[in-house]
Amino acid sequence: MDSFTSRTTGQWMLAAGITGILALVTLLLFFVGLVQNIRSLSSLGSLNDALNALTGLLSAVLAAVLHPALHRLAPRSSPILLMSAWAGALAITFGSWLIITGRSDVELSSYYFFFGNGLIGIWLWMLNRIARLQAAWPPDLTRWGLVAGAFMMVGLLGLYGILSGSDGEGYSPLVMVSGISFLGTGILYPLWCLQLGRSILSQRDAHSLKA
């Protein structure tokens, strides 16, 4: 069975999408708690960091699930793409660990978050480009994935902040510019996962009924 349209792929996409949406919701509630001084909401920061790490790891697993299909179509670049996705997931997880354990402030952990998702964005962009050429997924969803991946790759700018060791409680110009990637990371990517996961699973169910 082609990994692009397998039930396993659809299930992992749904898992990554749901976790990503939960991360977005907890982030929004966290900021509401800060603005309104609601302690029960302002404590959601750690949960958001944990969900960010989990979303990254689920994305890496999804990359592993799709690797056989990518390797068949792009044998030279597929190992690099898989390593990029896993390196990104580990960077996000490390950044979350830094902020949760108090070993860094918001700025440095944000650089790891943006950079890690930028690496995942490389994988996402190439994945959708190949899927589009193969007509493996609906054209509107591959276009969606390409846009999401392009935004996510803006987060690669966070590497400069990591290497310089910049840290603090405020939001530097580099954080703000790198933060443009959040449109892809926090919104477009999880919604893409949900939509494509549902599409794949509905097609599998339809084939099962016909059989």
Supply the pTM of this predicted model.
0.94
Least confident of 18-22, 176-180, 183-187: 176-180
Question: Which tokens hold the place of 138?
Answer: 């609906």
Q: Average per-residue pLDDT in the chain?
A: 93
The SS3 of residue 77 is: coil
pLDDT at res. 207? 65
The SS3 of residue 168 is: coil
pLDDT at res. 210? 63
Report how far residue 9's alpha carbon sits from residue 29's, in angstroms, rounded to the nearest whole number: 30
Assess contact for 109 and 165: CB atoms under 8 A. Answer: no
Q: What mean pLDDT comes out for the span 116-145?
A: 97
Of residues 119 and 38, more confidence is placed in 119
Q: Which of 150, 174, 177 is nearest to 163 (CA)?
A: 174
